């Protein structure tokens, strides 16, 4: 597995990470713990060293799973987790919990994450969503204190806007920004990616396969269980799924030419954008893990990338990423 550095931080990780959320949360009921532990260990054996979790996934179940499964490989892996939601009495839905990034809450959250992850230090700690009620300087200051105390190594933000990124970075240098980025969510290209490049911050795209859509396995006839949070997303209504099939056709035609799968083309496209981009596709299946890892070997030439851009520019993606309440939590 190739390695990449996240920005100027010298934090070196596998070129592809593994998003662990879906093992415990969001995409239906939690999966079998034993099976998921086996999958996490299989990822390490295949060269993945970068694992992404958060206290809100479950809540807490995902950190416990990741901590237990990866305990034997602690020296080989980098585990990223997140704080920022108020989990007192929240129900099992992303964003159902209110935000809380008060410094004292951050310290409490980190204490809990350290225990659940079975680690002495958190490799990369993200603020999960920007809290409009707490100045970002206070958040960065709290994480700076945790870094000084030896509880955290690196600081990151998720779904933050460029002004917030700059203000946080001035207090405690950011190692990474995690935001949604893929061929069907290209908003970071306008302002965020140039800012990260200027400041030397790495980029970790989540949902690099469009929550499964870019694999080509989902169409307007796909139904989602009420426990699957895609059932609440405007982009996953039958009308939007049908309207966005042009993107799947584009990926499919390139995949055929390259003897790859649409998912591999979508990931290879992301990897080709910048050398400091590390996508974190999630999966609960071993054959999908292998398929995703093989994307690292797919070589898209400058001509391929140009033709993808030209074709993609003619496609208008239908449907918002999130319902309004969750959308408001992004880009702050």
Residue identified by tokens 């795209």 is 205
Kindly state the helix (H) or strand (E) to which residue 41 belongs, with its residue range. Answer: helix 33-45
Residues 95 and 26: their CA atoms lie apart, in Å, by: 11
Choose the catalytic residue: 27, 57, 126, 322: 57
Active site residue 126: no
Running DSSP on this structure, what letter comes out for residue 282? B
Q: Is 221 exposed, middle or buried (0-12, 13-18, 19+ CB in 10 A)?
A: exposed
Q: Is 121 exposed, middle or buried (0-12, 13-18, 19+ CB in 10 A)?
A: middle
Six token digits for residue 46:
């295949």
Q: Is 184 exposed, middle or buried (0-12, 13-18, 19+ CB in 10 A)?
A: buried
Bond preceding residue 285 cis, omega within 30 of 0? no
Active site residues: 57
């Amino acid at each position: 597995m190739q390695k990449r550095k996240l920005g100027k931080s010298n934090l070196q990780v596998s070129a592809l990470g593994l998003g662990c959320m879906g093992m415990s949360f969001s995409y239906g009921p939690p999966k079998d713990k034993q099976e998921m532990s086996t999958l996490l260990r299989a990822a390490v054996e295949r060269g993945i060293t970068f694992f992404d979790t958060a206290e809100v996934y479950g809540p807490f179940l995902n950190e416990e799973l990741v901590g237990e499964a990866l305990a034997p490989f602690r020296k080989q892996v980098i585990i990223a987790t997140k704080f920022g939601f108020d989990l007192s009495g929240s129900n099992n839905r992303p964003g159902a919990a209110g935000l809380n990034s008060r410094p004292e809450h951050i310290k409490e959250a980190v204490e809990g994450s350290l225990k659940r992850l079975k680690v002495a230090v958190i490799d990369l700690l993200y603020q999960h969503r920007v809290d409009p009620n707490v100045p970002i300087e206070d958040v960065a200051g709290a994480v700076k204190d945790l870094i000084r105390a030896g509880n955290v190594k690196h600081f990151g933000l998720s779904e933050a806007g460029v002004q917030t990124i700059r203000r946080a970075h001035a207090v405690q240098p950011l190692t990474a920004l995690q935001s949604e980025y893929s061929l069907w969510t290209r908003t970071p290209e306008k302002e965020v990616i140039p800012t990260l490049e200027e400041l030397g911050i790495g980029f970790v795209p989540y949902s690099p396969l469009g929550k499964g859509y870019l694999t080509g396995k989902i169409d307007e006839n796909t139904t989602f269980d009420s426990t699957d949070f895609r059932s609440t997303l405007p982009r996953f209504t039958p009308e939007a799924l049908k309207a966005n099939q042009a993107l799947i056709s584009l990926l499919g035609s390139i995949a055929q030419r390259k003897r790859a799968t649409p998912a591999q083309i979508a990931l290879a496209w992301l990897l080709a954008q910048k050398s400091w981009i590390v996508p974190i596709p999630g999966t609960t299946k071993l054959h999908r893990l292998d398929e995703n890892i093989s994307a690292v070997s797919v070589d898209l030439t400058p001509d391929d990338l140009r033709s993808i851009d030209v074709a993609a520019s003619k496609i208008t993606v239908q449907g918002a990423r999130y319902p309004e309440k969750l959308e408001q939590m992004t880009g702050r």
